[in-house]
Amino acid sequence: MIEIKEKIGIRIHAIVDLMPTVANVADVGCDHGFTGLLSLAKKKAIQVIATDISEPSLRKAYDLAGEYGLMSFYDFRLGDGLDVIDKDEVDAIVISGIGGELMRDILERGKNKISNLTTLVLSPNNREDVVRSWLYFAGFVVVSERIVEENDKFYQIFTAKVSSSSIRDISDTALGNHMVDTPEALLKKYYDYKISQLKETLTELEKAKDAQEKIDEVKISIAMYEDKRNGV
């Protein structure tokens, strides 16, 4: 049994909990390495490939694994996104703690590395909508999702797989259809937060010129979130 000494936050716990139990996982952009460590400790994975584009970041994960005497369960790879992973090499790919646009770019560039058997476990810091739209148009379906609140910030965590059908649900581009382990009160709070953010954006857009198309998009998003909030 692995005894964790560090205090690992609720966000990383939730990421590992939402991940299916797999033989091996790639933690892309691992930095501190807590996701890999917790995956082993919770017996969610047997082997971890820890990757990062930054050598000092990767070293943190390397040192952590060494501290716990777990080197034989790891492979460490320095490189950009999914470039350092082979197709079918891992059952799950975790990408978390980076912005949604960068995450989308990593997925787009590395999409040939993701097979029908791969589960993506994703938690962008922002612009979840960008990642979810990419998933939808690239032929993935969202399988499970949850919200966590850590240090007064909300995080979406969602898992996705290649769709076995050509029919997908466009409403998967927003949160809500596959929610697990998220208290209703937190979900309502999250929707209220999203609605108030969008309303602020709308007020700004209404002052701008030639923003009608964007205004219409934001109004649709507000209506969708209100609908979801009322359905909780």
Residues that bind ligand SAM (CB under 6 A): 28-31, 51-54, 57, 80-81, 96-98, 102, 106
* Secondary structure letter of residue 33 according to DSSP: -
Calculate the alpha carbon distances from 128 to 58, 90, 134, 177 in Å. Answer: 25, 24, 10, 15
CB of 164 to ligand SAM, least distance (A): 29
Q: How far is the CB of 189 from ligand SAM (least distance, A)?
A: 22
Pick the closer one to ligand SAM by CB: 51 or 118. 51
Residue 38: name the closest of 77, 76, 7 by CA: 7
Least spacing, CB of residue 109 vs ligand SAM, in Å: 9
Helix (H) / strand (E) element for 109: namely helix 100-109
Measure the CA–CA gap between 226 and 172, rounded to whole angstroms. 16
The CB-of-180 to ligand SAM minimum distance in angstroms stands at 19
| Residue 178 C-beta: closest distance to ligand SAM, Å | 21
Give the nearest residue (CB) to ligand SAM: 97
Token pair listed for 106? 């990593």
How is 52-78 classified by DSSP, letter by letter?
A: ESSHHHHHHHHHHHHHTT-GGGEEEEE
Nearer to ligand SAM, 51 or 144 (CB): 51
How far is Cα 176 from Cα 196, in angstroms, rounded to an integer?
18
Name the residue nearer to ligand SAM (CB basis): 132 or 228: 132
State the minimum distance, in angstroms, from the CB of residue 24 to ligand SAM. Answer: 17
Region at 172 (left for phi over 0; alpha for psi -120 to 50; beta for the rest): alpha
